[in-house]
Chain A
């Protein structure tokens, strides 16, 4: 089982390297992280937080958008591409389970994502540490951001595989992936914000809103990172909203979502008839 998962992972890694996905992911993360840490250096003075914690707060906001996007870009072709190229029927006659194929792809794509995250966050962290001697205090927050970003990426990789299986054509899968990204990462928050404003502190704000935040993997990721570190919360200015939801709840959402996504992907992939 492990050997077959690793075999698929190795093959996917070869493909990703040749198709420049490794390079694209790394460059995207590094460029955006550096731009952000340059912009974010301005308001550090009066917040009473160290430079690295502020950088992490900025990176958290960036990652909510960028990590799901990179993950969906890497994964939308995973099943639909095999169907379109005609490589799937032969692969499925091999003694390998469908979930093992997906797990192999997940291992390879998550590995690429980790390389990109370490490169991007690392570059931003080096700048922060170099310019502020007190920045050591932010290392805990940086480590938390890195592993939660990996989980967030794995969640969206799984969702991407599910969409890829449902669409069965790479172009259709790409459309679905972009639509889903817009929906979960951009429109979802706008809709919640509008509802909270309209509700003006009623039952929606106290009951539905926290659950809605936890149900969305991107929001749970942001919530967990900002709640876990008081300094980061202060730097991002959402302390009050974040504090109302228990830390363990957002942590549970961050941990459970990758499993749910991979389960959905396996269910969708099982329905694909080659």
Chain B
């Protein structure tokens, strides 16, 4: 990747807590305008990784460049927006006061506060104390503050947790707009189907190691997980099909068969050869969860 367009560059990052490797030898590039999803189990090191990028935690070794600056420096902080996991705020402040405070800290016009709250659908509750907000509303205050100014990099720790499906869709539309303007976005999530449709690239972190990175089709190819085929035979022909496919097993009225990616077409043409005896066939590619589990378990997790 061209380093000139790289908003975030990390090479050989390692962080140890009390002898345990929280992150080991993690490298990563995120380009301007790119949306990258960070996946991993609880405790895989996602939040630690984000805090190192933000400069909240110092790395033990490795190099990090955030918008060409050292992480956590005043210049980097001016260009980076962060949404912590389970964003919390002082319960005595109103949403409007909280956002106004953040605008002032970034040297922005405070009249933007209402605009930002309207953007995340909190305009009606702007003058109520945050203590009276629901979890989803607090999360939206957190989202609103990430939109302040024009950040070059957004680091979002589980941004859609606590949001209803409609709010999630609205949120990803906001992100699309920011990415189109050139912001790089790094977000963590547990919702695999959601990030698949809404991000350009996936990273899988497991036990502090970056075990996979790429687009979903790339990861699917790399994982090379077997494809499941469910064959329903025309009455009485089960035996013939079982003879043709000795590895198939009977599940209810269907016969289940697994084949590798390379054998997919061969197997399908074999089944097509038996078309007089087959009532129906379902081809089921490995699910996102299967691919994710494959990578995150590979290191004995």
Contacts and interface: CB of A to CB of B under 8 A. Distances in A.
B74 A11 contact: no
B242 to A, nearest CB: 59
Contacts of B124: none
Nearest to B78: A95
Given A3-B107, A90-B84, A273 B93 contact: no
Given A95-B74, A95-B77, A90 B105 contact: no
B77 A85 contact: no
Interface string A82-119: 00011101101111110000000000000000000000
Contacts of B82: 89-90, 93
Contacts of A3: 104, 107
Interface in B41-88: 51, 54-57, 74, 77-78, 80-84, 86-88
Instruction: Report the contact-size class of chain A (Cβ under 8 Å from the partner).
Output: 20 to 34
A74 to B, nearest CB: 14
A94 B88 contact: no
A127 to B, nearest CB: 35
A207 to B, nearest CB: 46
B138 to A, nearest CB: 11
Contacts of B221: none
Contacts of A85: 88-90
B272 to A, nearest CB: 58
B275 interface: no
Contact of A7 (B55, B89, B101): B101
Contacts of A7: 101, 104-105
What does DSSP make chain A's interface, helix, strand, loop or mixed? helix
Given A86-B84, A87-B89, A92 B56 contact: yes
B97 interface: yes
B102 interface: yes
Contacts of B57: 273
A92 B77 CA distance: 9
A273 B58 CA distance: 9
Given A7-B105, A10-B101, A95-B78, A90 B87 contact: yes
Contact of A14 (B86, B92, B106): B92
Contacts of B55: 93
B184 to A, nearest CB: 16
A97 B55 CA distance: 13
B106 A93 contact: no
A193 interface: no
Contacts of B78: 95
A58 to B, nearest CB: 36
B30 to A, nearest CB: 17
A274 interface: yes
Nearest to B103: A7
A236 B299 CA distance: 77
A18 interface: yes
A273 B48 CA distance: 12
Nearest to A19: B92
B86 A89 contact: no
Contacts of A95: 74, 77-78, 105-106
Contacts of A15: 90, 92-93
Contacts of B83: 90
Nearest to A97: B74
B77 A94 contact: yes
B56 A274 contact: yes
Nearest to A88: B56
A80 to B, nearest CB: 14
B105 A89 contact: no
B41 to A, nearest CB: 21
Nearest to B157: A89
A96 B73 CA distance: 10
14 contacts: A7-B104, A8-B105, A11-B90, A11-B93, A14-B93, A15-B92, A18-B129, A86-B84, A86-B86, A89-B54, A90-B87, A93-B81, A95-B77, A274-B56
Given A90-B145, A95-B105, 8 more contacts: A3-B104, A6-B104, A11-B93, A14-B93, A15-B92, A93-B56, A95-B106, A96-B105
Interface of B: 51, 54-57, 74, 77-78, 80-84, 86-90, 92-93, 97-98, 101-102, 104-107, 129, 142, 145
8 pairs of A and B residues whose beta carbons are closest in the complex: A7-B104, A18-B92, A93-B82, A95-B77, A95-B78, A86-B88, A11-B101, A94-B105
Interface of A: 3-4, 6-8, 10-11, 14-15, 18-19, 85-87, 89-90, 92-97, 273-274
